[in-house]
């Protein structure tokens, strides 16, 4: 097993532990998962793995603000309209995402 594979397995296990914890509200779980999906896109550009985290996040909170993820996913899929998905740029976080996909 490579170092990358070991890191991926550890992340999967730690995520599953978090999701099983009844003390963590679903909204927090969703926010964690959407951040994880963004990290996967930014770090390894694995759209398939990022989509899995995104879909889990949406199951926990359907009203989740996923603009950053959707814009990055679109960008890494070579969609020319990716910047439109992060609109409105109403926070520093969304501005950073917007700047990444210029």
Backbone angles phi, psi at 13, to 5 degrees: -65, -45
How many alpha carbons lie under 13 Å from residue 31 in its C-beta half-sphere? 5
Confidence of residue 21 (pLDDT cuts 50, 70, 90): confident
Q: Where are the alpha helices (DSSP H) in the chain?
A: 3-20, 26-44, 47-60, 67-76, 92-100
Going by pLDDT thresholds of 50, 70 and 90, the confidence category of residue 16 is confident
Q: Tell me the longest C-alpha to C-alpha distance in the chain.
A: 43
Whether residue 71 contacts residue 83, with contact meaning beta carbons closer than 8 Å, is answered with yes
Res 11: pLDDT:
72
Angle at the Cα of 66 (from 61 to 19), degrees rounded to 5?
Answer: 40
Dump pLDDT digits (tens) for 51-98: 999 999 999 999 999 999 999 999 999 988 999 999 999 999 999 999
Phi then psi for residue 21, to 5 deg, are -70, 115
- pLDDT value of residue 97: 93
Q: Which pTM value belongs to this model?
A: 0.80
């Amino acid at each position: 097993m490579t170092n990358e594979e070991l890191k991926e397995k550890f992340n999967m296990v730690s995520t599953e532990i978090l999701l099983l914890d009844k003390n963590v509200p679903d909204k927090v779980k969703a926010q964690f998962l959407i951040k994880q999906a963004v990290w996967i896109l930014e770090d390894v550009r694995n759209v398939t793995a990022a989509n899995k985290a995104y879909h889990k996040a949406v199951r926990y909170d359907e009203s989740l603000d996923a603009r950053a993820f959707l814009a990055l996913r679109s960008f890494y899929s070579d969609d020319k309209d990716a910047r439109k998905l992060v609109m409105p740029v109403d926070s520093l976080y969304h501005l950073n995402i917007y700047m990444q996909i210029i």
